Structure 1
Amino acid sequence: MTPAAPSFAFLPGTDRSPVILHVPHSAREIPTSVRAGIVLDDEGLERELDHITDAHTAELAAEAAGLSAAAPWRFVNRLSRLVVDPERFPDEREEMLAVGMGAVYTRTTHRAVLRPADADPEPLIERYFRPYAQAMTDAVAERLAVAGRAVVVDVHSYPTAALPYELHGEGPRPPVCLGTDSFHTPPELLAAARAAFAGCGDIGLDSPFSGAYVPLDFYGKEPRVSALMVEIRRDLYMSEPGGPAGPGLGQLAAALATLVDAVSR
Structure 2
Amino acid sequence: MKRLFIYIMLLMGVILPSAAKNRAKQVIAHRGYWKTEGSAQNSISSLQNTYKIGVYGSEFDVHITRDGEVVVFHDDDVEGIKIENANYADIKDKRLKNGERIPKLQEYLAAAKLLGNMKLILEVKEHIQKSDEDRCIDATLKMVNEAGLADRTEYISFSKHACDYIVQHAPKSKVSYLNGDLSPREAKEAGYAGIDYEDSVYIDHPSWIKEARQLGLVTNVWTVNDLKEIKYFFRQGIDYVTTNEPEKAKAL
Structure 2-normalised TM-score? Answer: 0.31
* Structure number having the greater helix percentage: 2
Structure 1-normalised TM-score? Answer: 0.30
> Whose relative contact order is higher, 1 or 2, with alpha carbons under 8 Å and at least 6 apart?
1
